[in-house]
Copies of this chain bind each other. A is one copy, B any other.
Amino acid sequence: MASKRPLILVTNDDSIFSKGIRSLINAVKSIGDVVVVAPDSPQSGMGHAITINDPLRLDKTDFLEDIEAYSCSGTPVDCVKLGISEVMHRKPDLIVSGINHGANTATNVLYSGTMSAAIEGAMEGIPSIGFSLDSFDSQADFSVAMKIVEIVVRETLENGIPEGNCLNVNIPDVSADDIVGIKVCRQANAYWEDRFDQRLDQHNRTYYWLTGDFKDQKEQTDTDVYWISKGYATIVPTQFDMTSYSIMKEIENWNL
């Protein structure tokens, strides 16, 4: 007997063992039938990486109790592909990714495994949403984020998302009393000012460790970085067509 409830694929990039994905599952399991396919280890910063040159493992796990769940050795995008192709054998009605430990505002959308899973979902024609909480704390309080998840998921299932797009939802790390609302806005043009820690290993060979500071461009007021700082959850509609239509004419005038 087929269920009339929506079929929801849940994934993330912090791994199946993170508090964020358990919070996401708990927020959506009353709305639909949930299947989890998530990385077996942290995959933050993996962007839209896929595993081409190595085999992938997919293991059914019962640690989420009543939820059908699989841990996967691959990236978040691998999880989406394997989930649809090998676990569900059909397209789910919705893909949700997260809740990420740490905001994916601004250009972080490009580095984020959480958002890349949602973008992959959009590429496969499935309404998809990435959720991120603005806190890197592994024990962060996801209760406000879970309320935002419920609202955005219900509206997405009701209205659909236009083809070619997914949603990038970021939630401020504030209490229920302090969240101001939800803003639809654009991706900020903030960036990482990279630094590398240069160290020596036990054989006196140099190695480098990526670090850096996130730099907002302060004058922007209509962006995800701006609104989240004002206590709003933000929704950036995100497309996978990266063509810069506005500069095509300029390049056409080159001497090619």
Contacts and interface: CB of A to CB of B under 8 A. Distances in A.
Contacts of A182: 256
A29 B155 CA distance: 55
A32 interface: no
Contact of A49 (B45, B57, B159): B45
Bin chain A's interface residue count: 35 or more
Most buried by B among A57, A152, A182, A244: A244
Interface SS majority for chain A: mixed
Interface string A183-203: 011110101001110110100
A187 to B, nearest CB: 5
Contacts of A26: none
Contact of A184 (B58, B119, B199, B252): B252
A102 to B, nearest CB: 11
Interface string A166-189: 010000000000000110111101
Interface of A: 42, 44-53, 55-58, 75, 77-78, 81-82, 84-86, 107, 109-111, 116, 119, 123-124, 151-152, 155, 159, 161-162, 164-165, 167, 181-182, 184-187, 189, 191, 194-196, 198-199, 201, 205-210, 235-245, 247-248, 250-252, 254-256
Given A44-B52, A47-B116, 10 more contacts: A45-B53, A56-B210, A84-B194, A107-B123, A184-B251, A184-B252, A187-B241, A237-B251, A239-B242, A240-B242
